[in-house]
Amino acid sequence: MKKLLASIAFVLLAVVAFAQSGSKVKWDYVVKKLADKKYEVRMIATIQPGWHLYSQTQSSDAIALPTKFTFAKNPLITTAGIPKEEGKLTDAFDNATNSRSRFYANKVEFVQIVVLKTKVTTSVVAEVEFMVCDDKQCLPPDKKKFTVKLEG
């Protein structure tokens, strides 16, 4: 019975540790209307102290998983290119990946311009895939889906 309880406790601890991978980054989403049918969608990553989140673009020798946004197809909107990054970018040798990497600490905002094709209410549905590391380790990649409403 003690072995069974110990096994269950071990499994629960492993699940809790794995579930915390995404808790190193808190994501918030803000929509700002720029003009008629033109919006700015800000995907704001607040990163726990000691951890860093990788840029969407990496050097050729980097092995870290770059942050990637995938926008669901919506015939009512257009997006252009990858989101612009706003934050203090570090381009340095990364001990956790043993390679040169581009990353952010503390906070970074990813900004995507979205244009409605017609005056209509719709939503932007997307997913962000990201990886966080500290100076010693990297956590498994994580994915977060999000939806923001646009009102034409």
Cα separation values, 67 from 9, 34, 37, 70, 109, Å: 33, 25, 27, 10, 12
**The predicted structure's pLDDT at residue 4:** 35
Are residues 66 and 83 in contact, defined by beta-carbon separation less than 8 angstroms?
no
Backbone phi, then psi, for 63, in 5-degree steps? -115, -5
pLDDT at 13: 37
pLDDT at 22: 57
CA dist 83 and 118 (Å) reads 22
> Measuring CA to CA, which residue among 40, 87, 95 is closest to residue 67?
87
What does the block give as tokens for 104? Answer: 């952010």
Q: How many angstroms separate the CA atoms of 48 and 59, rounded?
A: 24
Q: Across all residues in the chain, what is the average pLDDT?
A: 87
- What is the tens place of the pLDDT at every residue in 103-124? 999 999 999 999 999 999 999 9
Would you give per-residue pLDDT tens digits along the chain (152 residues)? Answer: 444 333 333 333 333 344 445 589 999 999 999 999 999 999 999 999 999 999 999 988 888 899 999 999 999 999 988 999 999 999 998 887 888 999 999 999 999 999 999 999 999 999 999 999 999 999 999 999 999 999 86
Q: Dihedral of the CA atoms 72, 146, 59, 24 (nearest 10)?
A: -160
Parse the chain into domains and list their residue ranges.
23-151
Residues of the chain with pLDDT > 70, as a percent, come to 85
Structure tokens at 139: 């956590």
pLDDT of residue 25: 98
pLDDT of residue 95: 83
Q: What is the pLDDT of residue 130?
A: 98
Yes or no: domain 23-151 corresponds to CATH 3.30.70.100? no
